[in-house]
Structure 1
Amino acid sequence: MESTRSATDADASVFEVEFDVRDSKYPFVGASEAEACTFDLAEMVPRQDGEYAEFFNVTGTEVERVADRAEEYETLDATVLRAWDGGGLVEFAVAGDCPAMSLAEHGGLPRQVRSADGVGRITAEIPPPYEASTVIDSFLDDTPEAELASKRRVDSVTPLFSNVAFEEALHIYLTDRQREVVETAFRAGYYEWPREATGEEVAAELGITSATFSEHVHAAERRLFSALLSGPNAGG
């Protein structure tokens, strides 16, 4: 849902908002409560058909236990990407019931999603041309379990990755074909919010089927995020 920029917001570059979420129906909240652990969102990537891939660093429990608990949620598939003593990196493939995903669809850019012992906090940036008040109201209408904790102006949108880190990771961790697919998708706007090109359009540009594109891009994402987001304590 897109919103127009108001005169009040016209002189503001970006709004930063924070929401508290305490409902255990959301996996990152419920699992953190059940396992007395902490979830930190490392990255969220849009996929086809309204799905998102969310990459969480988990601390305070064995990450395999988190993946097992994910089986309780019908709209979620969990994959352990890296594991180390007392934590790991897990991918949540989410098809619905995700407040961060809902906020992104309304125009907010989630920058931090954290849950500790059953209390979640989502920090997001709302850039032009979205109207902050409309994004907030629309999100709270869709997610009545959330509460607005704060709202303030900030100077600019925080980059997800530096260009140097992104380019280095592309060349170190991906095959030539995976790198071609990801670079083409990136240039086409596949990773923009809202998305500027669909998977089908990127696949057509590459001369491959949508299924082949999906296979390459998902494999590349997992390799990139496993390498970039595992943290210094990750095993080899």
Structure 2
Amino acid sequence: MSDVAGKTEAESVVEVEFRVQSETYPFVGVSAARECTMELAKMLPRPGGQYAEFFDVTGTDPDGIVSLASTHETLDATLLAEYERGGLFEFTVYGDCPAFSLAELGALPRTVEGVEGTGRIVADIPTEYDASAVVAAFLDEHDDAELACKREKESVRPMFAESAFRTILENDLTDRQREVVEAAYDAGYYDWPRERTGSEIASDLGISSATFSEHIHAAERKLLTVLFGAGAGRGV
């Protein structure tokens, strides 16, 4: 088994911070319309060039967020968990999203938040990419964005607390879910840019693409429960 929980990156990266004001972006527009805060908790690649973005919404009742977000043609929204004055939402993004654009350019979004109509994005650019070129390409695509900060830093960031990760692997994931998510990780499915597609990994495992998607999405949901529960004190 690969050491998924213990993997960290210890290298120099360039951190960039952008400010965006356009309400055409859902995390900005929804935060403005509902006078709330939307914070990206996790971003995962999906087949077909899509991304699943998990947003924690606070400061408003979750009712109506799905219908409001779904007015954007490039977005599907699902309420995953509801709590007092907030909720956890999954947004499947097809494009027209600055975090999506940064990921496609090779950057790793770390903070994406909308606070009452003001958007803020912080991302790390790994050393194998030209940071200036990534910034220039992003600003060309999003002329409403503004570069607020750019600096070099050391990156050491584990994905999960190891004890929580091991517990969920051993107790909650089925054998097939664990096999699929480990194979995907080892094959570079979660790298940006992605090294292997879901269809290729499914073929290696001798299963269909639909079965691969079913198992990996179920495993991701359980692992995200650890992340959100530990970080926010709430069960999902």
Do the two structures share a fold, i.e. TM-score over 0.5?
yes
1:233 CA displacement:
4.8
In 2, distance between residues paired with 1:97 and 1:156?
Answer: 28
Counterpart in 2 of 1:234?
Answer: 234
1:121 CA displacement:
0.3
1:126 CA displacement:
0.7
Counterpart in 1 of 2:6?
Answer: none
SS state of the match for residue 64, structure 2?
helix
Deviation string, structure 1 residues 10-61 (Cα, Å, up to 9, x no partner)? xx82110000011111111100000111011110001111000000111011
In 2, distance between residues paired with 1:224 and 1:64?
Answer: 26
In 2, distance between residues paired with 1:171 and 1:145?
Answer: 46
CA RMSD of aligned residues (A): 1.7
Q: Does 1:217 align with 2:216?
A: yes
Q: Please, which moves more after superposition, 159-168 or 202-211? A: 159-168
Q: Supply the AA of the counterpart residue of 2:183.
A: T
- Conserved? CA contact 1:53–1:93, under 8 Å: yes
- Conserved? CA contact 2:160–2:227, under 8 Å: no
- Conserved? CA contact 1:38–1:117, under 8 Å: yes
How many residue pairs are counted as aligned between the two chains? Answer: 225
SS state of the match for residue 219, structure 1?
helix
In 2, distance between residues paired with 1:189 and 1:165?
Answer: 23
In 2, distance between residues paired with 1:91 and 1:226?
Answer: 13
Q: Supply the AA of the counterpart residue of 1:144.
A: D
Q: Supply the AA of the counterpart residue of 2:234.
A: A
- Conserved? CA contact 1:63–1:90, under 8 Å: no
SS state of the match for residue 52, structure 1?
strand
TM-score by length of 2: 0.89
Counterpart in 2 of 1:51?
Answer: 50
Deviation string, structure 1 residues 83-104 (Cα, Å, up to 9, x no partner)? 1011111100111111001001
- The gaps in structure 1 that reach 5 residues or longer are 1-11
Percent identity reads 57
Q: Supply the AA of the counterpart residue of 1:205.
A: D
Residues 51-200 of structure 1: pairs in structure 2 closer than 5 A: 51-156=50-155, 158-200=157-199
TM-score by length of 1: 0.89
Q: Supply the AA of the counterpart residue of 1:234.
A: R
